Structure 1
Amino acid sequence: MRQRLLILSTAFLIATAIVAALAWMSTKSLYAKNGFNRTFTSTSLASIHSFANRIKATSATVIDSGRILLSGNDKRLIQIFNPETKQIENKAIMLPDSLTGLEHNILTYSQNTLQIILPQKNIIFTINPSGQIENTLKLGDKTVTRATAISRNSFIFRTLSNNNGILDQNFTKADLVADIFKSAQITEQRNDAGISTDGNLIYDPETATVIYTYAYRNGFITSDTTLSKIDSFSTIDNIKSYQIAAAGLKTFTGKQYTKTKPSRTVNANAAISNGKLYVNSKIISNNTEVQQFKENTTIDVYSSKSGKYLNSFLIRKIEEEELISFAVVQNYLLTMDKKQISLYRISND
């Protein structure tokens, strides 16, 4: 009996050691130096306002007049925040029960009217201030995964399309008034339903530039609003290969695409303001201490037109909460975690 307990205890200690070693190796790879340095400028952030994230918002989007739309999957769908007055300007718009709890992309908000797209349904819904559906528009048989608005009636979508049995991503411009749809292969296709090339799709009205940032490798792509002139740029880190692998597996219900190994995010959220692209990087640089990297969110800044790296700055994490989304409006920076929304004033000395 004693010998059996000794064997079990030894096996438990060995298993614990293996788990600890794997955890250490995983952590070590996340915080290993990556062969590049950031330029941390004298950018200073002054905290000027904060409030609880009561509507469980997961996205911050700049809309007209420098206001910020806060949205999430909670039934209280959106709130409008004005950085100048530091006030919530509206009662949260309530979605109809049939649309709540579904993943969505906000497209536009003007004159108290909201346009949203539900990726699962490929339909644009126009919602009035009372939360009622005014009209709907079917986008066809392509599955929409990302969306950004150029104007109230013109959009850019990242879609999935089936080409000879292979599901992959493409980009489509839709003009709802003229009923014009145009597609372009902006990023490479890897025959994996766009999983490895996933990222953020945003629009810069200052330079009329569509921007797509990769989530799993260094880089971003810019295009004009016709999806004709396309340029590719690298982010400052040197993670050139995709930090994710995916493949299609045959199932009883058809081909299903899934990740085939653990992924590592390179560039998380992104925002745009005044011709500058702000990217939340998850990669540590040589001139950043590990503890400093853990305690802060790293933002890299690029020219949205030339793609040139400009500088970087850090945002102190509040109660160790990870950044969910952020927005930049002129000299205001709004950050969001699952508990709190914070407003900062950005100044460059």
Structure 2
Amino acid sequence: MPTHSSRALILGALACLLLVCALASVTYGARDIALADAWSALRGHADTINQAAAAQRLPRTALAAAVGAALAVAGVSMQAITRNPLADPGIFGVLSGAALAVVVGIAFFGLRNPVPTFFTAILGSALAAVFVFVVGSLSSPGGARGGDPAPLSLALAGAATAAAGSSLVSAVLLPRVDVMDTFRFWQIGSVGGATFEHLLLGVPFLLGGALLCLASAGGLNALALGDDVAAGLGAHPGATRLVAATGAVTLCGTATALAGPIGFVGLVVPHLCRLVVGSDHRWLLPTSAVAGAVLLIAADTVGRVIARPHEIAVAVITPLLGAPLFIWIVRRQKVRDL
């Protein structure tokens, strides 16, 4: 089992890797930029073409870090709440619920302002999460008896919800060319076109969701032992699930409103981080946040480098990284144990 010092060392190493990835994100892309120009852009200078290009990459790098951290923390929380190794905001349909709510708000209610968009996305995430949990409970023998729904039932309910949500998004957008042209890149999932003004509006929601998840870390550790044992240890399983779930859906909804639906981050990062820091959520949550930021910044940078002078949206790159691990998890676990 990792010690506190080794976990702290791993977290520090990830923080250094995050700085390296952020620097690479600013310097590499359709136009490679010298470190001196990147440093000048960081200090607020945009006197040359290279400095201006670096300055434009700063907000997308910050957005990638924020969204990656949010999705990773949400994934850890969802896996702990449901005790399901396959739990992920994308697989459970939470991201699709947020995307559908935003698209409906835009198409039918003229939703444009960022703050109402955040609330709409969070509401969509919450409704999707509740729907998946209810359907998974009804279709699970354990859930029908009042226990936790089976992981496989939740995964199937989430996959069906995600597919239905994506289809409904397309049904809303296709007849509305003006809306589709404006938001088709957002629907794919991208951090391009980010601005600090928009990101700063989302920061309170991201911080609030993250604090709720971090405050639940001790309770999530107890939940891993089962509700009866957790209650015997003085924890409150229902309250812990409610607080952690509220934090998770807030993070998912805000991340989706900022960058569109981006999948697999919440699945890949928690499993990788458990391999190095263990299952203690007091360490797993912050480690996953940093690792999620590293993954999304790296994926965005790769998408810009391999398709020069164009770019590949980050949501296209992340499944290429996450799908092999997802397949490995399914093959590793017995179906009856999922």
The answer to which structure has the higher strand fraction is: 1
- Comparing both chains, which one has the higher relative contact order based on Cα–Cα distances under 8 Å and sequence gaps of 6 or more? 2
State which structure, 1 or 2, has the greater radius of gyration over its C-alpha atoms. Answer: 1
Q: TM-score, normalised by structure 2?
A: 0.23
The answer to which structure has the higher helix fraction is: 2
